[in-house]
Chains A and B, each alone.
Chain A
Amino acid sequence: MTEREKSSADRVAQSLAPWFSAKLGRPVTVTELSRSAEGFSWLIYTLTVRAEDPAPGEQASWDFAIKQEPDDGVLAPYDVRWQYELNRAVARQKVVPVPEVYWLETDPAILGSPFYVMERMRGDVPTPDADQPFRPDERSRLAGQLVDCLVSIHRIDWTAAEWDGVLRRPKAAEQAASDELDLWTDFYERATLVQLPAVQLVLSWLRANRASSGELVFCHGDYRNGNFMVDRGAIVAIFDWELAHVGDPLEDLGWCTMRAFQGRSGLVAHLLTEADFIARYEAKTGITVDPDVLRFWRVLGYVKALGSYIRGCRAFEEGRTSDLRLACFGHRGLYLIKGMLDEIGAAR
């Protein structure tokens, strides 16, 4: 385990108190700090900052979330400055609910590595294999919002100057499949510790079945349950934009509709059928979802997910973390391989 992982909540809180005092221009204490168990990339803390001596009527406390760059993880290497700028740019669009981003700190002396501070949202994050934090009668509204938020993201004007140098983009729509396939093949190959013949079989299938919708949009890159928050039957925040790029809209659709994220529900994000998801998306965007194109992107989605699993195993093997969740990816990746083989009709 690295020194950073060993950081106790108390030590983090003590380090942050003078930092927040400087930012807020008054003496403060940091309380209720806890490290989130969710996520396999960034170290995420939630905390409350309290003014030490607030005047009557003055704001006395603030709730924040902190994302700190890890030593290593499933999507290494990390770039906190790029991540901060990207999240701020997304927030400026005001097309979907996202946390406001406040400050970037690149000095590793404060917490041991760079971090940024953002608004702490209130609600629950539904995850694929847990009990769902919404009532059955809230499902219909959430399902509609799930599709509509994706449509709104896809409508962000990625040609605007503010995205220059921020988002990777293909030269043409037809190039998107090749670019993403090359990117994730390379990511997987660099991470692999023990070769997996079934994955090479799938990569070969992907090379032979590259497909494009002919459209380019702003892709979230990781749009699924686990990356949005719900509260009182509504989606109140969408997170984890670190894989955002310009790409094929069906890339996000393929990813979001992967069975790996459905638990045992058989429903996209435990909310709606794939057919309903696609019908609503088509109706709202006018984009036709070709099943073969969708399948290409979904199979590539499995490779992308497996690549991050294998990257986690490498981080564990090289001793940069002793997070046992990452070691478990070594066998849990077999579910993803089964998923990709099912998609191409090759599973036994």
Chain B
Amino acid sequence: MIQNSLQRIFDGMVSSVTETVLPHVDDPYARYQLQCLLDLLMNVAERVEWRCDELRGTLDALEPPLRQAVAAGYLAEELGALPFRTEEMTNEQLTELRTAHLEALAALQRSDGDRPDPDSEPAQRLAWQIAAAALQIQADEYELMRRARIRLNALRGRAKEQQRG
């Protein structure tokens, strides 16, 4: 899971390029390209949110273990009242819910050694569902990174070919 907030990533990209890259670029055309990059980044930043299908995918992976934990009474009272996602939720609501669900799952995972009945069927089922959710989320995130790398390599390759040609 990307750790930084979307807006901080945009702001950090602009700060870094402005302060550490631009002062070292003397070519006027290259400088103008960089200035357009900064302009585009800030304009995109005003218009984007984390993708809702990715947020929904993560929430869908988290739902089975959280429902099982609620049913088995493994979640603390304040987390037991956790809402689940609905189709009407906005991106902002989905993002907040993802944070809450991930925190709730982490609380469950931290306390896995303290359960009084670790060999019972509900506890075993919960452990299996937690592992399945954790691995699913990791696999989905890894796939996004893999696709980004392929896309980056393709663009770099094309740029190099054009330079050679």
Contact = CB atoms under 8 A, between A and B. Distances in A.
B43 interface: no
A314 interface: yes
Main secondary structure of the interface of A (DSSP, over half): helix
Contacts of B15: 1, 322
A323 B15 CA distance: 9
B142 A338 contact: yes
Interface string A307-348: 000100110110100111001011111100110010000111
A243 interface: no
A159 interface: no
Contacts of A197: 62, 102, 105-106, 109, 130, 133-134, 137-138
A201 B99 contact: no
Contacts, number: 107
A152 B19 CA distance: 44
Pick the 6 closest A-B CB pairs, nearest first: A197-B134, A200-B109, A195-B102, A313-B3, A322-B15, A198-B138
A66 B106 CA distance: 41
Contact of B99 (A194, A329, A346): A194
Interface in B29-75: 62
B103 interface: yes
A316 B8 contact: yes
Contact of A204 (B112, B135, B145): B112
Nearest to A312: B3
11 contacts: A1-B16, A1-B19, A196-B1, A197-B130, A197-B134, A314-B3, A316-B8, A322-B11, A327-B12, A331-B141, A341-B138
Interface in B12-30: 12-13, 15-16, 19-20
